[in-house]
Amino acid sequence: MANISFENVTKRFADGTVAVDSLTLEINDGEFIVLVGPSGSGKSTALRMAAGLEDITHGIIRVGGSVVNDLTPKERDMAMVFQNYALYPNMSVYGNMEFGLKLRKMPKQERKARVTAAAKMLGIGELLERRPAALSGGQRQRVAMGRAIVREPQAFLMDEPLSNLDAKLRVQMRTEIARVHQQLQTTTMFVTHDQTEAMTMGDRVAVMRQGALEQVDTPEELYKRPVNLFVGGFIGSPAMNMVLARLVAEGDKLFAQFGSQRIAVPREHLSQRKQLASYKDKEVILGIRPEDLEDAEFAPRADPDALLDVEVALAEPMGAELVTYFEIDAPPVITKDTRDLSTDLDELDANKGKSLFTARIDSQSSARDGKPLKVVFDVTRLYFFDPQTEAAIR
Amino acid sequence: MTALTFLEQGFTRRNRRRSFATLFLLLFLIYFLLPLFWLIVSSTKSDPQLFSTFGLWFAHFNLVQNLREVFTYDGGIYLTWLGNTALYAISAGVGAALFATMAGYAFAKYRFRGRGVLFAVVLGSIMIPQTALVIPLYLLLSKVGIINTPFAVILPSLISPVGVFLMRVYAERAVPDALLDAARVDGAGEFRIFRSVSFRILVPGFATVLLLSFVATWNNYFLPLVVLSTPKYYPLTVGLAQWNSSSSAGGGANVLFSIVVAGSLVAVIPVAIAFLLLQRYWQGGLTAGGVK
């Protein structure tokens, strides 16, 4: 087991694209770190550089303190789990798990002991004689995990290992991987594009975008204090609502005005964010998470200045909550970031001058499609970003 | 016209098209099988009958006698030729398949300088007929001093540009990159990966190229004719042709037609066996389950 450190690591491919741009990241011994980001963010390339499968254009990668830049994958002693499992089709499950040990000339007895132990840990003891073709997706994933575990490597590198599984299995394997990590305490780099996976699995989460590291922090910190608009929008599901607002002072009160509506901004935000005062009478990007919005009926003591009158566009009953969508008559935040995040660009363009908000409200709410609704903002949980730099206002 | 008659017409038209296709295939079948049938029939005839009886039907059954003569004539040299042919075909088949598999795999899975140019050269060499190469080949082989040895037949037969092309296409499709990465991370060197992982997946392609080169070398007449001059190194093709021409040239003094025909029949059998044996390797989907 070892720590892994990236120092200004850059990867430029032959065609000139920069997949990873000066990445500096310190992964502690025994840590479970998740690299997350949209496709093309360089997270997989970073992982492959750590594995030795991609050359490093610039910078240094150290494992356990020593530079590994010029070491072959074999010499780095890492184990990798691939998205498509990459099991050897011509070998049995046992053969697959044993292959790496055989190459390291481990005695047969010890190989057997390790494979058996790992198989037992993963509940695949019955499958050892089978070929990969005769296994289900979940079983294959376990075998791929087993192949990594038996190696007892310096680190586990996992490249979207759960993407090919169906939703239920994915959740199950998530806990399984977490359990294995708890048991073995092996340094693990886990790549995913799924922010839920990132939040639930990582000791720390590194959010990447276009080859650059945006923020690395604990899941809680990322959620509470995103450094910029991109991280704010990427972490959390459904995504954070954002709207272009103007900060206006009225008497000793501060309001965020957007479209025809406004909400109060409590004083505590000003004391927590020293720069925020300088945005008075200027535009900011106001962010509020869907879970921090509520139907006013279920928040009877809410400040009337935190209320918004809206018309429900769509209400989706989820059982435990009601996910409602409504429009705000203020221009949406269209930046490169929101474009990167948006799955449907047409939607953004079609809604010029209007922002679509999402709220997770009480399931008992009477909100229905086309009906008016009073929405309460939890004004203590507002986010502020600079419209120009897109950085969080601190 | 009612809908029913329309329907009926559609059916008959389709049936007619189908029976036309069947007829077409039948003609092909006859075209290919007729010579073989002639060979089988003729190999049972004695020399005089070969010319006096109807070619496509049996006369007096003389096959056993013919076969005995095939294997005993000229001190039993036919067996030597059969052995030579087997040696040339097997070594060229296995060798060509192995080289083609390695080369095709390298073209498919490695990025290296000159890959495109090299592959273009391989493709280009498919277009050059063997006849055009025989003279330079002869000069080369004689320079090295292996003219009139088995190597003169085997070495040129080890090269199969078509095989390289086939294996490249096959390897590109059959061997996923992630599998190679997995093996690298597991600690395997490139050759070990080829041996333990990739080659196993490429076996159906390997068998195909093996069979193609085996048959090509087995039937090759021109190359051994040019590079060999001692009868004990001859393969069957050259040996039988020599018997055939000596019986034509001898003015009837040395009539060997019946044993040439019977010898040809014997020569066909191993190829048929090779086909049947290698058939079971033609099963795709070997990678199924390795990667999604």
Q: pLDDT tens-digit profile of A287-322? A: 999 999 999 999 888 888 899 999 999 999 999 999
Q: Do B289 and A82 touch (CB under 8 A)?
A: no
- Name the minimum distance, in Å, from the CA of B190 to any CA of chain A: 11
Chain B residues whose beta carbon lies within 8 Å of the beta carbon of residue A72? 184
Nearest to B283 by CA among B212, B206, B222, B213: B206
> What pLDDT score was predicted for residue B60?
81
Chain A interface includes B291 (CB < 8 A): yes
- Percent of the residues in chain A that have a pLDDT greater than 70, as a whole number: 95
Q: pLDDT tens-digit profile of B11-52? A: 566 777 788 999 999 999 999 999 999 999 988 888 878 888
* Amino acid letter for position A190: F
Q: pLDDT tens-digit profile of A85-133? A: 999 999 999 999 999 999 999 999 999 999 999 999 999 999 999 999 9
Mutant choice from A15, A71, A74 vs B, greatest count of B C-beta within 10 A: A74
As given in the structure block, the two tokens for residue A331 are 């221009």
Chain B residues whose beta carbon lies within 8 Å of the beta carbon of residue A137? 292
Asked if residue B174 lies in contact with residue B241, where contact means CB atoms within 8 angstroms, the answer is no
Alpha carbon distance B116, B114 (integer Å): 6
**A90 Cβ partners below 8 Å, 6+ apart?**
A131, B197, B200, B201, B286
Chain A residues whose beta carbon lies within 8 Å of the beta carbon of residue B194? none
Average pLDDT of chain A to the nearest whole number? 91
Alpha carbon distance A240, A288 (integer Å): 6
- Name the minimum distance, in Å, from the CA of A339 to any CA of chain B: 31
Average pLDDT of chain B to the nearest whole number? 87
Whether residue A375 has pLDDT greater than 70 = yes
In order of A2, A73, A191, B247, the CA distances from A68 in angstroms are 12, 9, 20, 76
Q: pLDDT tens-digit profile of A213-244? A: 999 999 999 999 999 999 999 999 899 999 99
Q: Which residue of A has its CA nearest to B196?
A: A90
Chain A residues whose beta carbon lies within 8 Å of the beta carbon of residue B288? 89, 133
* pTM of the complete model: 0.83
> What pLDDT score was predicted for residue B284?
45
> What pLDDT score was predicted for residue B3?
53
In order of A162, A168, A180, A367, the CA distances from A146 in angstroms are 15, 21, 10, 49
Alpha carbon distance A33, A155 (integer Å): 11
Q: pLDDT tens-digit profile of B82-130? A: 999 999 999 999 999 999 999 999 999 999 999 999 999 999 998 888 8
> What pLDDT score was predicted for residue B116?
94
> What pLDDT score was predicted for residue A338?
58
Q: pLDDT tens-digit profile of A362-372? A: 999 998 999 99
Q: Which residues of A touch B (CB under 8 A)?
A: 48, 51-53, 72-74, 78-80, 82-90, 99-100, 103-104, 131-135, 137, 140, 147, 151, 157, 164
Q: Which residue of A has its CA nearest to B194?
A: A88
Select the more confidently predicted residue: A33 or B59: A33
> What pLDDT score was predicted for residue A350?
54
Q: Which residue of A has its CA nearest to B180?
A: A86
Hey, is A1 helix, strand or coil? coil
Chain A residues whose beta carbon lies within 8 Å of the beta carbon of residue B178? 82-84, 86
Q: How many CB pairs under 8 A join A and B?
A: 90
Chain B residues whose beta carbon lies within 8 Å of the beta carbon of residue A51? 181, 185
> What pLDDT score was predicted for residue A61?
96
Q: pLDDT tens-digit profile of A128-148? A: 999 999 999 999 999 999 999
* Sheet of strand A355-362: strand arrangement: A293-295, A372-377, A307-317, A321-328, A355-362
Predicted ipTM? Answer: 0.86
Select from A79, A86, A133 the Cβ nearest to the Cβ of B178.
Answer: A86
Q: pLDDT tens-digit profile of B246-291? A: 887 765 556 788 889 999 999 999 888 888 887 777 654 444 444 4
Whether residue B199 has pLDDT greater than 90 = yes
